């Protein structure tokens, strides 16, 4: 049922270019590792890592909205998918990362690095 959808060709190519630019920026930052970002800690990891994570989420948004065409679905269909997934994943990731940090704090004093 193609419910009277007009062509999106132009937008598709724009999104493609946009995704390529973001990926290029990510790779450039990953190769350059600007010290100001790389060595500044913020909320458990470096600023550079936060930039990577945010850029990844921007990419994910454009893939889901434009390519998977979630923007064209009914509002509550969209929400039933996005809210569920976002809630469960943030919950899981938060708990597991806190646990990982705890394991490090507990176990790393027991590891001997100097022979």
Partner 1 sequence: MEATIAVNSEGKTDWDGGGSRPFGASYGKMMMWFFIMSDALTFSGFLAAYGLTRFKFIDSWPIADQVFNHFPFIHGDHPMLFVALMTFILIFSSVTMVLAVDAGHKMKKAQVTWYMLLTIIGGVIFLGSQAWEWKNFINGTYGAVKTTEGKVLQFVKDGHQIALSDFVVGEYGERTTHTRENGLWFEDEATLPTYSLQQVISSYEHNPSVLIRTEEINPETKEKTILSREAGSRYLLKATKVVEGASLIENEYGKTAFADFFFFITGFHGFHVFSGILINIIVFFNVILGTYEKRGHYNMVEKVGLYWHFVDLVWVFVFTFFYLV
d(CA 54, CA 60): 10
Which of 3, 36, 71, 110 is close enough to bind partner 1 by CB under 8 A?
3
Greatest C-alpha distance within the chain:
72
- Rounded to whole angstroms, the Cα distance separating 71 from 7 reads 15
d(C-alpha 16, C-alpha 8), whole Å = 12
Does position 19 interact with partner 1 (CB under 8 A)? The reply is yes
Give just the sign of the alpha carbon dihedral 62, 64, 69, 73.
negative
- Considering the complex, what minimum distance in angstroms separates the CB of residue 36 from partner 1? 14
Candidates 21, 23, 34, 42; binder of partner 1 (CB under 8 A) is: 23
Residues that bind partner 1 (CB under 8 A): 1-3, 5, 7-9, 12-13, 16, 19-20, 23-24, 26-27, 30-31, 38-39, 45, 49, 52-53, 56, 59-60, 63-64, 66-69, 73-74, 76-77, 80-81, 84-85, 88-89, 92-93, 96-97, 99-101, 103-104, 107-108, 111-113, 115
């Amino acid at each position: 049922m193609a419910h009277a959808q007009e062509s999106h060709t132009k937008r598709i190519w724009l999104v493609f270019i946009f995704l390529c630019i973001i990926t290029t920026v990510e790779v450039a930052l990953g190769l350059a590792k600007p010290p100001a970002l790389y060595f500044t800690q913020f909320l458990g990891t470096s600023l550079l890592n936060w930039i990577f994570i945010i850029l990844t989420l921007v990419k994910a948004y454009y893939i889901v909205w434009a390519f998977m065409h979630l923007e064209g679905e009914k509002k509550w269909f969209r929400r039933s998918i996005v809210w569920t997934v976002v809630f469960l994943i943030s919950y899981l990731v938060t708990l597991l990362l806190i646990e990982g940090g705890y394991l490090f704090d507990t176990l790393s004093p027991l590891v001997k690095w100097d022979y």
